[in-house]
Structure 1
Amino acid sequence: MAGELLRCALHGLEGHDDMVYAVAITPDGQQAVSASFDKTLRVWDLESGRCLHTLEGHDDEVNALAITPDGGQAVSASKDTTLRVWDLESGRCLHTLEGHENGVYAVAITPDGGQAVSVSIDNTLRVWDLESGRCLHTLEGHDDEVNALAITPDGGQAVSASKDTTLRVWDLESGRCLHTLEGHDDEVNAVAITPDGGQAVSVSIDNTLRVWDLESGRCLHTLEGHDDEVNALAITPDGGQAVSASKDTTLRVWDLESGRCLHTLEGHDDEVNAVAITPDGGQAVSVSIDNTLRVWD
């Protein structure tokens, strides 16, 4: 199940002074925003590979970011226990979101752009109003650090991934836990939801991906092939494929219906931390401990 091997990086984007830990692409597909352990975010022009802005303000490593649906703002999550809301055109910080009791690992934004949901080492999720910067809910239930989350396309639910080896499905309006998804043998690092909202895909330190039915909470497939921990993933806009990023220095492209590995993407010199896919599904952008971003066809 090794699949076809691809080595076709289109750009290497260099400029961060430390490990690059997360990346997101603007809805128009023209720019990428990266987050680094050097405490900054950088805004990149994908066509030229040029850095447009460096966003400074966090007091510790930046672990994650998300971009609003209109492409105008980014929300970053940091080990300094805060989130920051940035204007991408000017590079200015609009709000600092405070409330978590420990480092913030991940953030996602609702489809209407009105709210952000964050997860933390403090074992909780928090729901934020982006206009005011106010915390609306604190979601509790995980038994260990929460590493990642994704929001359903209708904005009604969130799925969180935890060091406690489980995922949880939450109703965002009430803050209630609807399902606990069990099956991974180790810490769950990331989760993404298919565009139709019917399935979630998770990745784990156990070297696997799992595909879940969100209505029933049942595991549909276990995807095996990586030689080390799987750190991150993204799903193509048509919902047919997932791209995973691993500590084994590679990315893999998977067919979600069959569970088959279609391609292995090689080129990074160290662990791959994150991946994002352009809105047209034609390119992926990956970030690595080797301090670079790579753009793949």
Structure 2
Amino acid sequence: MSKIQVNKLHTLTGHNDCIYALTEGVDPQYFYTGAGDGMVVAWDLENPKNGKLIAKLPHSVYALEVDHEKNLLVIGHNFEGIHVIDLDQNRELWSLQMTDQSIFDIKIVFGKAYIGTADGLITIIDMEQRAIKKRLKLSDKSARVMAINPYNTQMAIGFSDHSVKIIDLKSDEPIANMEGHTNSVFALAFAPNQNKIFSGGRDAHIKIWNSINFSLEDEVVAHMYAINFLAFRNDGKYFATCSMDKSIKVWSTEDHKLLKVIDKARHAGHGTSINKIIWSNYNQSIISVSDDRSISIWQLEF
């Protein structure tokens, strides 16, 4: 493995339950977390110790997404629907009851919010009209994770039926079904500057797919237990995975080689499952959230 220096910059606390949701702000100096305690908190990388409560909801929050055009935070409120927060004024603009299921992921593109739920539905919401535009029933199993390609023409969706399905964002119709995982797909991303889709899940394998013809190109046995999420650095050279095995692993995008393991024994890492990570566009740190109710911020020197 290569000589990557890892420095743990901060451990942030404040949530009272497992932290499931994590997203970066329009200004990447800020990021947002959501947890099983129903709290949604804003954090500032320049002053990270003082989180600011944005919302307190009766049910768990698994999904957060920022509308970059309007600086809105969309909160997936399990068993209810979505709450939309104006981040400039720090107030709720509107909410929409739309499901009695868990909301696992949200993506916003072309003025539409795509909501993935435990019943296998993708609900498409017109953000201007504040109304449901369409529902796509793509599986009988949970829609766990979504990723938009860099050209905003396609979305990949990982399901608990072990598949990754592709929809065309112009027509909102399915165009491909990629099968290869042997369990639920939790982690999914298009590689920047490359025609590749990376996926991972409960089978602990990373699969690398061609995003033009959707064929399987490579596979890596990556973790001991489920891969919960993966994220690319903005230049696309590296990506990181986080797992139920309590570790974060850093990889080379080009050859899919493991470069670094960040864990409790070596770096005072998380003590339980790591649920989400982002590779910050603000300072290139990795931000991670865990079942241990804490947030860690890691500086990597290559």
Matched, 1:14 2:16: no
Matching of residues 59-208 of structure 1 within 5 Å? 59-70=58-69, 72-110=71-109, 114-196=111-193, 198-208=195-205
Structure 2 length normalisation: TM-score? 0.91
Matched, 1:287 2:289: yes
Given the alignment, which residue of 199, 209, 212 partners 1:215? 212
After superposition, the C-alpha distances for 1:224-278 in whole angstroms (9 at most, x for unaligned) are: 2311111011111122221111011111111122010111112111110000111
Higher deviation after alignment, 136-145 or 165-174: 136-145
Higher deviation after alignment, 16-25 or 86-95: 86-95
1:148 to partner: Cα distance: 0.9
Aligned twin of 1:247? 244
Q: Is the 8 A contact 2:176 2:214 kept in 1?
A: yes
SS in structure 2 opposite 1:8? strand
Matched positions, count: 294
SS in structure 1 opposite 2:208? strand
Q: Which has the higher strand share?
A: 2
| Pair 70,283 (structure 1): closer, same or farther in 2 beyond 3 Å | farther
Take 2:201 and 2:47, find their aligned partners in 1: how far apart are those partners? Answer: 34
Take 1:14 and 1:218, find their aligned partners in 2: how far apart are those partners? Answer: 42
Higher deviation after alignment, 161-170 or 51-60: 51-60
Letter in 1 for 2:22: V
| Pair 256,94 (structure 1): closer, same or farther in 2 beyond 3 Å | same
Aligned twin of 1:275? 277
SS in structure 1 opposite 2:52? strand
Letter in 1 for 2:52: H
Take 1:234 and 1:167, find their aligned partners in 2: how far apart are those partners? Answer: 17
Higher deviation after alignment, 179-188 or 45-54: 45-54
Higher deviation after alignment, 20-29 or 32-41: 20-29
Sequence identity percentage: 24
Q: Is the 8 A contact 2:112 2:126 kept in 1?
A: yes
| Pair 264,205 (structure 1): closer, same or farther in 2 beyond 3 Å | same
Structure 1 length normalisation: TM-score? 0.92
After superposition, the C-alpha distances for 1:129-169 in whole angstroms (9 at most, x for unaligned) are: 22222112211222311111112223222111010000100
Letter in 1 for 2:104: Y
Take 1:24 and 1:88, find their aligned partners in 2: how far apart are those partners? Answer: 13
After superposition, the C-alpha distances for 1:203-236 in whole angstroms (9 at most, x for unaligned) are: 1101111111122111122122311111011111
Matched, 1:235 2:237: no
| Pair 63,144 (structure 1): closer, same or farther in 2 beyond 3 Å | same
Over the aligned positions, Cα root-mean-square deviation in angstroms equals: 1.9
Take 1:54 and 1:294, find their aligned partners in 2: how far apart are those partners? Answer: 18
Take 2:230 and 2:281, find their aligned partners in 1: how far apart are those partners? Answer: 15
Give the unaligned 5+ runs of structure 1.
none
Take 1:204 and 1:148, find their aligned partners in 2: how far apart are those partners? Answer: 10
Q: Is the 8 A contact 1:54 1:91 kept in 2?
A: no
SS in structure 1 opposite 2:177? strand
Aligned twin of 1:265? 262
Take 1:128 and 1:156, find their aligned partners in 2: how far apart are those partners? Answer: 17
Letter in 2 for 1:200: I
Take 1:203 and 1:262, find their aligned partners in 2: how far apart are those partners? Answer: 18
